[in-house]
């Protein structure tokens, strides 16, 4: 897999975590100055769907209310598609890009000063900052945009890192995809504000494009133990089938330095309503819905950060989603796809 270095507010080497840090006023002004150049996109002004491509992977971001995209707004808000390659489509040329669909939705919600949280595109006007080709391969792989009202700026970045197409001599190569995400909240007002930030993920690992997700495939989401003395936490989702075991896994990693992170994992589509009803995600007191681990057919999970910002302070969250196949299972995808084609689409 390719590696890159990313700059978002400050230069950082790409890593698998979420850093939550407060930035002083000078840093914030420097950050804002660094994104004044807006990429010129030859597309309709009202287009808010942005296609990202890298290697053998693609992604679609629906940045609601942000013009300059590659197509009109469609699908769920935020990242509503991450697709990977498939060697079975290689009939003398490169395999079809994007045969395996891994994402239903990833997006952010925010509450301000005790108000009920809502989708970040409700904060204020949206604007495109950058839509560009970071690694110089000819495909746009990074998107930056903002939402802003008189008090708050929300800055978002998505960066796709895809693996190369499979090596003909190694059918288990390729298939991986990484989405780096950054969201930054900046208090522009002259008074302190209190914020509640939520990141929701609804993955669809190993869903077959045009076919759906085989009901024989089981989904599992679990919190992983900290390898760094309580500073580093991970949420791992995996797909498995009885005949082959684990097929694919996705790990969302983050590091919370300033505030405790709260979690919620569910086996339904209830999380958006739960968040917008002004509920906290901390499930420690709910034995019927533990935050630790759950299995089911349609998993969702979310994380929450609570923080206060003085004037011109900023709170930054860096997340990474890494999707990888399990070794030795790629040759069985054709069999699973055959099973899936015989059953109605689940989602």
Q: Would you say 316 and 9 are in contact if contact means Cβ atoms under 8 Å apart?
A: yes
- Quick check: helix, strand or coil at residue 122? helix
pLDDT per residue, tens digit, the chain (347 aa), is: 333 334 444 333 333 344 444 444 434 334 333 433 333 334 455 799 999 999 888 999 999 999 999 999 999 999 999 988 755 554 555 555 557 788 999 999 999 999 999 999 999 999 999 999 999 999 999 999 999 999 999 999 999 998 877 666 766 667 789 999 999 999 999 999 999 999 999 998 877 776 666 667 788 888 776 555 544 567 888 888 777 777 888 988 876 554 556 888 888 889 999 999 999 987 655 544 555 677 877 789 998 999 999 999 999 998 999 998 765 455 555 555 555 444 444 44
> How much is the pLDDT for 168?
66
CA 306-312-313 angle, 5° bins: 35
Give CA–CA dist 312/57, Å, rounded. 38
Helix (H) or strand (E) holding 198: strand 193-208
Is the pTM higher than 0.85? The answer reads no
Range 36-43, long-range pairs (CB < 8 A, 24+ positions): 37/130, 38/127, 38/128, 38/129, 38/130, 39/68, 39/128, 39/129, 39/130, 39/131, 39/132, 41/68, 41/69, 41/70, 41/128, 41/131, 43/68, 43/69, 43/70, 43/71
């Amino acid at each position: 897999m390719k590696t890159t270095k990313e700059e978002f507010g400050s230069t950082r080497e790409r890593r698998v975590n979420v850093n939550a840090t407060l930035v002083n006023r000078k840093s914030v002004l420097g950050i804002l100055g660094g994104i004044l150049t807006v990429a010129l996109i030859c597309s309709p002004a009202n287009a808010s769907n942005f296609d990202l491509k890298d290697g053998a992977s693609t992604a679609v971001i629906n940045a609601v209310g942000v013009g300059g995209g590659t197509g009109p707004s469609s699908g769920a808000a935020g990242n509503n598609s991450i697709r990977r390659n498939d060697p079975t489509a290689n009939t003398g040329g490169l395999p079809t890009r994007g045969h395996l669909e891994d994402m239903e939705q990833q997006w952010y919600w925010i509450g301000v000063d005790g108000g009920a949280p809502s989708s970040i595109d409700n904060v204020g006007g949206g604007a495109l900052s950058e839509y560009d080709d970071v690694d110089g391969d000819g495909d746009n792989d990074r998107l930056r945009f903002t939402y802003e009202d008189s008090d708050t700026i929300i800055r978002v970045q998505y960066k796709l890192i895809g693996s190369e197409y499979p090596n003909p001599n190694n059918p288990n190569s390729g298939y991986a995809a990484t989405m780096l995400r950054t969201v930054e909240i900046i208090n522009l007002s002259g008074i302190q504000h209190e914020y509640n930030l939520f990141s929701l993920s609804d993955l669809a690992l190993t869903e077959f494009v045009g076919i759906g997700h085989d009901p024989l495939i089981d989904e599992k989401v679990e919190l992983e133990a900290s390898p760094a003395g309580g500073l580093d936490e991970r949420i791992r989702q995996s797909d498995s089938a009885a005949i082959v075991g684990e097929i694919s896994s996705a790990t969302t990693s983050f590091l919370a330095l300033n505030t405790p992170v709260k979690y919620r994992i569910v086996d339904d589509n209830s999380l958006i309503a739960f968040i917008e009803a002004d509920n906290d995600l901390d499930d420690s007191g709910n034995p019927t819905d533990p935050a630790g681990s759950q299995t089911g057919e349609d998993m969702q999970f979310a994380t929450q950060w609570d923080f206060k910002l003085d004037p011109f302070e900023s709170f930054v969250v860096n997340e990474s989603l890494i999707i990888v196949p399990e070794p030795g299972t790629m040759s069985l995808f054709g069999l699973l796809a055959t099973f899936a084609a015989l059953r109605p689409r689940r989602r």
